[in-house]
Amino acid sequence: MPLLGCIADDFTGATDLANTLVRGGMSAVQVIGVPDAPLPQADAVVIALKSRTAPVQQAVAESLAACEALLAEGARQIFFKYCSTFDSTDQGNIGPVADALVRRLDCGFALANPAFPTNGRTVYQGHLFVGAQLLNESGMQDHPLTPMRDANLVRVLGRQTDGAVGLVPFATVEQGASAIRRAMTVLKESGRRYAVVDAVTDTHLLAIGEAAEHHALITGGSGVAMGLPANFRRAGLLPERGDAAVLPPMRGHAVVLAGSCSRATLGQIGLARNHVPVLELDALALPDAAALAAQALEWAAGRLGETPLVIAASAPPDRVAALQARLGREAAGALVEQAMAAIAEGLVARGVGRLVVAGGETSGAVVARLGVKALRIGPEIDPGVPWTYAEPVGLHLALKSGNFGGRDFFLKAFGA
Ligand code: ADP
């Protein structure tokens, strides 16, 4: 029975939240999409949707279906996770999804807090900052799908809901959990459906988490989830200290698949070249997914063994631009993603048990091809990137957004 049931509006956000909870001592599983089977066992289950920019109706329907699945398994508290930059438009989807969850849980009230001080996201007097900039001057005002042109979250959320939105200001948050709890009660009793809560430091987030101990619904970024494991511990539902990041023992051959062309990934490939065999696929010379996959699998066949291998489609910007000019941007991306997915499938069939995938879109393609339904979250390799155990495939998988990780990430992942 999960203690905490989470609904995340995108895939990497879900991993981020699950990882935060594991570091707090809760075991966590990330489920991909609305589940069609019983949920895996864990202290926290995070259902990863792709609802951030989906049509409003669809986002609401999928979020409610996820909520239903979590409640059916006995989840004691529901967490609606969105981006720390509050990615949304005046139509949604944060407000409409939260409204539907408030109604379903019949709780009448929820706090809203996207702050993530470690990554520079703070909320002061209801205004969201990215580093030293207001949200609407941070570059987010030009986001292609969710341009954020107002930093005042009380107004932003207010435009997305027919409920009233209040604020628990910095001065109250500074006073700690009891003061925050009292302020939220006053707002709820005065008819507010939501309270945006200021938070500038992790200490604030921990106090907010404590104040929300008995809330049926919490909405926010992964930061505000930091305070939740302590609530379950205080209630005697979670052991005092235990390692929540335990995965089945690692086995099988080890491979890195890199489909990201981000600077960090190019650097990681560069360093790996000095230590392990690296195959650089040339999608420009061989623009055919099946042929690229065949080439990679043939190369790997004689080399799978003690040392990890790296297979990279990654290329510097001029080569990427050349392939895009020839095929079009979408087709170029899809070609490489399909090649990497086919390689992953072939590698697993050949006994690979530990796979690192570099690139967000690339990871999505690999996970879909392998039929992964859930990821059990294990120990972190680098901040924000944990080892996971993919079910029902039975594979250790690390999914890395292109720009994440230090230069030695690939070597570190395999302890090489
Ligand atoms: P990141 O996390 O760095 O954004 P993604 O995997 O999300 O990485 O995106 C990288 C995109 O670039 C994918 O669509 C991938 O297929 C594509 N790609 C990878 N290698 C090449 C290449 N050599 N030429 C063109 N596109 C490429």
pLDDT at site 416 = 63
> Residue 106 class from Cβ within 10 Å (0-12 exposed, 13-18 middle, 19+ buried)?
exposed
Ligand 1 centroid to residue 321 C-alpha, Å: 11
**Amino acid at position 353, single letter:** G
Superfamily of domain 253-413: Four-carbon acid sugar kinase, nucleotide binding domain (3.40.980.20)
| Cross-strand bridge partners of residue 133 | 130
Given a cut of 70, whether residue 181 has pLDDT beyond it is: yes
Q: Report the residue count for the chain.
A: 416
CA distance 260 to 25: 31
pLDDT at site 12 = 86
402 lines ligand 1 (CB under 6 A): yes
Q: Which residue has the tokens 């990882």?
A: 19
Percent of the residues in the chain that have a pLDDT greater than 70, as a whole number? 100
**Index of the ligand 1 atom closest to the CA of residue 324:** 25
Of all protein residues, the one whose alpha carbon is nearest to atom 21 of ligand 1 is 314
Q: What average pLDDT is seen over the chain?
A: 95
Q: What is the CA radius of gyration of the chain?
A: 22
- Sign for the CA dihedral angle at 46, 48, 52, 55 comes to negative
CATH 3.40.980.20 domain span(s) along the chain = 253-413
Ligand 1 centroid to residue 335 C-alpha, Å: 10
| Cross-strand bridge partners of residue 166 | 195
Ligand 1 centroid to residue 384 C-alpha, Å: 20
Ligand 1 centroid to residue 332 C-alpha, Å: 8
Ligand 1 centroid to residue 211 C-alpha, Å: 43
260 lines ligand 1 (CB under 6 A): yes
Q: Could you tell me if 183 and 174 are in contact, meaning their C-beta atoms sit under 8 angstroms apart?
A: no
CB atoms within 10 A of CB 324: 14
Q: What's the rounded mean pLDDT across residues 131-149?
A: 92
CB atoms within 10 A of CB 408: 15
Given a cut of 90, whether residue 115 has pLDDT beyond it is: yes
Q: What's the rounded mean pLDDT across residues 120-125?
A: 97
Q: Candidates 260, 262, 295, 310: which one to mutate for ligand 1, based on the most atoms within 8 Å of Cβ?
A: 260
Of all protein residues, the one whose alpha carbon is nearest to atom 14 of ligand 1 is 333
Ligand 1 centroid to residue 372 C-alpha, Å: 21
CA distance 291 to 283: 10
- The secondary element (H helix, E strand) that includes residue 329 is helix 329-349
Strands 110-113, 217-220: pairing kind: parallel
Ligand 1 centroid to residue 284 C-alpha, Å: 13
pLDDT at site 403 = 85
Ligand 1 centroid to residue 130 C-alpha, Å: 26
**Index of the ligand 1 atom closest to the CA of residue 282:** 23
Q: What's the rounded mean pLDDT across residues 47-73?
A: 96
Of all protein residues, the one whose alpha carbon is nearest to atom 27 of ligand 1 is 333
CATH 3.40.50.10840 domain span(s) along the chain = 4-234
Q: What is the pLDDT of residues 359-407, one digit of tens each?
A: 988 999 999 999 999 999 999 999 889 999 999 999 999 999 888 899 9
359 lines ligand 1 (CB under 6 A): yes
pLDDT at site 243 = 85
CA distance 381 to 406: 10
Q: What's the rounded mean pLDDT across residues 73-79?
A: 97
**Amino acid at position 298, single letter:** E
| Cross-strand bridge partners of residue 355 | 255, 397
* This prediction's pTM: 0.92
Which two structure tokens, joined as six digits, stand for 396?
Answer: 């250790």
pLDDT at site 3 = 97
Please measure the distance between the N-terminal and C-terminal CA atoms of the chain and give it in whole angstroms.
38
Q: What's the rounded mean pLDDT across residues 249-272?
A: 95
CA distance 293 to 38: 34
Q: Look at 93-97, 338-342, 383-387 and tell me which has the smallest mean pLDDT.
A: 383-387
pLDDT at site 77 = 98
CA distance 220 to 213: 15
Which two structure tokens, joined as six digits, stand for 345?
Answer: 């499938």
Q: Candidates 266, 269, 292, 362: which one to mutate for ligand 1, based on the most atoms within 8 Å of Cβ?
A: 362
Fold of the CATH domain 4-234: Rossmann fold (3.40.50)
332 lines ligand 1 (CB under 6 A): yes
Ligand 1 centroid to residue 258 C-alpha, Å: 9
337 lines ligand 1 (CB under 6 A): yes
Q: What is the pLDDT of residues 316-334, one digit of tens each?
A: 999 999 999 999 999 999 9
Q: Which residue has the tokens 């992942």?
A: 413
Which two structure tokens, joined as six digits, stand for 42?
Answer: 């864990």
Query: Is residue 392 reached through a cis peptide bond, with omega within 30 degrees of 0 on the bond before it?
Result: yes
